[in-house]
A and B are shown apart, each in its own frame.
Chain A
Amino acid sequence: MFQGLTKRLPPEVKPTRRQFLVAMGGAGAGLVIGSRLDAIKVADAATGPAMINPFVIIAPDNSVTVLSKHLDKGQGAATGLTTLVAEELDADWDQMKVEFAPSNPQLYNNLHWGPYQGTGGSSAIANSFMQYREAGATAKAMLVAAAAQAWGVPAAEISVAKGVLSHASGKRASFGDLADAASKIAVPEKPSLKDPKDFTLIGKHVPRLDIPDKTVGAPIYALDTKRENMLVATIARPPRFGATVKSFDDKEARAVNGVVDVIQIPAGIAVLATSTWPAIKGRDALSVDWNFSTSENRGSDELWTEYRALAETPGQVFRDEGDADGSISRSSDYIERVFEFPFLAHAPMEPHDVTIEFDGKTAEIWTGSQLQSVDHYVASQILGIEMPNIQIHTLWAGGSFGRRAIYDSHIVGEAAQIAKISGRKEPIKVQWTREDDVRGGYYRPMYLHKVRVGFNEGGEIAGWHHRIVGQSIITGTPFEQALVHDGIDHTSVEGVLDSPYEIPNFRGELHTVKSGIPGLWWRSVGHTHTAYVMETMMDELAAAAGRDPVEFRLAYMKDKPRHAGVLKLAAEKAGWGTPVAEGRFRGVALHKSFNSYVAQVAEISLDPDSDHGFKAERIICAVDCGIPVNPDNIAAQMEGGIGYGLGHAIRNEITLTEGEVDQSNFHDYEPMRITDMPVVETHIVPSAEAPTGVGEPGTPPAAPAVANALAAATGNRRTILPFAKEGAGDA
């Protein structure tokens, strides 16, 4: 699964796949040496915290600390995992705490991904649901057994509620009282889990654990890492992707007060200073001559020309049912649309930052690590030390949206390059600026869809021909084996390949384009463009058929109860079919992603003075994500997912001219602001199914729901994103 990793590593680091697998497999318990876990194991158990299992630590002060194997970058995973433990443990929520687990794929791997640790694909709760419940249930069974021993009563007579064990004889104890004894009890094999009807936390209102810190500016992020004698480094990276340093002059940079060193690394030129501002000033003072013979020198206009030409030629077939071309040619009418989606930067609020401390033999790394196993491996290869000699400290991250889950760990990799090449023993924090981030690549790639749908009199769909042109984000990465099959990157076609609509004749083709501009998953990945195309096309087809858009969709879904369930719920809650307030217009969209089903009804008003023609006033969202672990957090993720999808659809694009990114910061990659945000109402479908993701699935339907509302208002169907490219249009 990791063989592709080597292709993107710096030239001096070329591990074989075998080496990587050995490194991962050999990681084991040795990885936690020197970490919190190890400290706990050797602590005086009578007075220190007791580690009950890899996920649960109980301290004499009666606090219960859950170790979150997943990064929390705002999506609420840390609170969610803690809820699962607390539920089965029958703890009091007020005694619960959470910390991020160390990097150790044997203990903390993502169960959906196999042998490595990481967060993504809206999988945190989905893969951990049973694991963290069992961890809580195990801990509870051990506490009960310890109480039974201490009190000389049968375990079955002991009850546990809100963090207190008690017996009819009047004996009572807190978890903290029994933690030491419980840690010495043999771990039960199969602890019994609660019947969901007895849940007191899952599905209820549980406040997030991180909010108190986040209202006082607490130092919880990688940005806030402070080590004694720490240096701060910035990096001058090439202005075009794939360019290299020809020569550089650092005289003026070294003259900046506070700059202590300037070194060349594979990623560019690093400026090391005593604090952040001189590191930024020093970099500005550098003069670097770049070699563009190996770089991507095309601009986005040239890429679009190539994409548009390819869209006219047959691609690789990813879906073929019936006779699409024949049925379209025999149909009474057809609609053809070409959609264009730009490169998009993730631009999480916290610019990338990572601190590394390397003494030549061991290293520690502090960052918002999202793929700990890849970060860990890449650091070990570059530093030339074994993985057990490196500790990764995962910190709360200021957003990610996919950007911190990096197949080549280039952010940690650059820090390791600086530590290794500079030979410095001081801790070094590598600080990215917003410009580094916006111009730094790893974008949602450009995509073009050309769709032709034939329909018969009465509007019945006869055939659907769907051609997609875009860059693979997976080919050449560690994830290739899992996600690329017969040359088709699943993430390029997801949402079209598995559309719920039963279309009699369907042909899907893909052109996979190569460019030197690195792409990456971006909140909801392929669904960012496929949902827009499928849902605006279905809407236009409904209009052509003279049918209601909700009824039309339902007619094409015969055996899709969960799709139909959210669509009907959103429609009902939005008052679909009843008159909308004067000056407002409705649109609907439905999409499944990451095993969750989301439908949204958007209400807009026209705004000819805006840069894109309308104001999104209100979005009614229905979601089916299985058992809702934390309903308020699900609502928050729907709100955030809608804002993220809508904000970018309104006005964001990354363009390039002669290989250089044209945008640089929030003034020209203008984020959604409070004035753009609609009111969002979320309705959750009650469910007994296993929980599925919520971080991403709110994003895909937002833009098409709004676009369909705009079409209802003006008849104008937007096919070029962002909307602002067309201005206010017909508004």
Chain B
Amino acid sequence: MSFNLKINGETRRVDADGDTPLLWALRDELGLTGTKFGCGVASCGACTVYLDGLPTRSCVTPIDSIDGEEITTIDGLSGKASAAIRQAWTEMQVPQCGYCQSGQIMAASALLAETPKPTDEDIDGAMEGNVCRCATYHRIRAAIHRAAEIQEG
């Protein structure tokens, strides 16, 4: 089957079965490999993308369930919040193995776009679904606070 998906501002055609998770359509069919595979059951957040701006687990989102929503992946992530998050991630040296960080940055950027001055509780709420086995959590929290300062200017 063939599906047209709006990804990072472009319409892309995918030839795959309708039950194919968006994660594998992005990675295998479209070569957008920034989105990572961690669990396949929406338990870790490594595969986080946005559907119309909302963080979504692409590993459990079949492509036939997508109905014209704008898809944003780490490969196409842009804007003030994500720039601040990336700068803070670099300043605070957040990543270790880095494998979960695409998802962490997607989640953190969405938080910062919505809530410019997040509290620790806001961070808990937005980030609890994103697993980091290297336990960079301590720096993720500090970097989100730092990104809020950067974004404020």
Contacts and interface: CB of A to CB of B under 8 A. Distances in A.
B33 A226 contact: yes
Contacts of B17: 257-258, 277-278
A319 to B, nearest CB: 33
Contacts, number: 180
A396 B93 contact: no
B29 A349 contact: no
Interface string A46-57: 000000000000
Contacts of A636: 93, 96, 136, 139
Contacts of B37: 223, 276, 351
B28 A277 contact: yes
Interface in A137-192: none
A280 B23 CA distance: 13
Nearest to A76: B96
A350 interface: yes
Given A73-B97, A210-B95, A277-B20, A639 B44 contact: no
Contact of A275 (B29, B90, B93): B29
Contacts of B19: 277, 281
A608 interface: no
A349 B93 contact: no
Interface in B1-43: 16-17, 19-21, 24, 27-29, 31, 33-41, 43
B36 A640 contact: no
Contacts of B94: 211
Interface residues of A, number: 65
Interface in A203-233: 207-208, 210-221, 223-224, 226, 232
B138 to A, nearest CB: 5
Given A434-B41, A673-B128, A221 B99 contact: yes
A676 to B, nearest CB: 8
Query: Which one of A211, A220, A399, A680 has the greatest number of beta carbons of chain B within 10 Å?
Result: A211
Interface in A367-423: 396-401
Contacts of A640: 96, 134-136
A65 interface: no
Given A351-B38, A667-B43, A74 B97 contact: yes
A219 B96 contact: no
Contact of B41 (A75, A665, A671): A665
A433 interface: yes
A642 B135 contact: yes
B90 A212 contact: yes
Nearest to A74: B97
Contacts of B100: 349, 398
A677 interface: yes
A632 interface: yes
A348 B138 contact: no
Interface in B118-153: 123-124, 127-128, 130-141
Contact of B98 (A213, A276, A278, A665): A213
Given A223-B37, A349-B133, A677-B135, 5 more contacts: A208-B95, A211-B93, A215-B89, A217-B73, A644-B134
> 9 smallest A-B Cβ distances: which pairs?
A217-B34, A643-B135, A398-B99, A74-B97, A214-B98, A74-B96, A666-B43, A217-B74, A677-B137
